[in-house]
Amino acid sequence: MQHKISITSLSDLPIAARQLLDLFPDKRVFALFGEMGAGKTTFITAICKKLGVIDRISSPSFSIVNEYKSARGLTIFHFDFYRIKDLSEVYDLGYEDYFYSNAYCFIEWSERIEELLPDDYVKVEVVKIGEERELNIQ
């Protein structure tokens, strides 16, 4: 089943984040797809805030993965695979330990590692339409 969520301004981000989490309460791996500048990191930041993350949230462009904790003790992993040149880097990272940990995993540049994603991941396509964004979710 496919869902669409429209984001017309930054003030819509918390609502969109809550909608995504409510649509998939039992899912833990969310793979974001979208062009550079589409707003993937900004949306993941909003989701993390909805989950109660108290840590500073930033793009893991160089570290590849950031780990956050929520006020309730949840563990959240935030990945950015933009700089991955070869899948062996993802194997070396121990991706399976993250993806199958039952912790929340939010993944940017998922298209670079799509064949490694768990079968039950949630695909979130972030489409930039002018200043607005549309989330196509399946």
Reported as half-sphere exposure (CB side, CA atoms, 13 A), residue 73 has a value of 0
* Single pTM value for the model: 0.94
pLDDT digits (tens, 9 = 90+) for 80-122: 999 999 999 999 999 999 999 999 999 999 999 999 999 999 9
Question: Are 118 and 25 contacting, i.e. CB atoms less than 8 angstroms apart?
Answer: no
- Which string of b and e fits 64-79 if b means at least 16 CB within 10 Å? bbbebebeeeeebbbb
Which residue from 100, 81, 78 is spatially nearest to 90, judged by alpha carbons? 81
pLDDT digits (tens, 9 = 90+) for 35-69: 999 999 999 999 999 999 988 898 888 889 999 99
Q: Looking at the domain that runs over 3-137, which CATH code has it been given?
A: 3.40.50.300
Domain ranges of the chain: 3-137
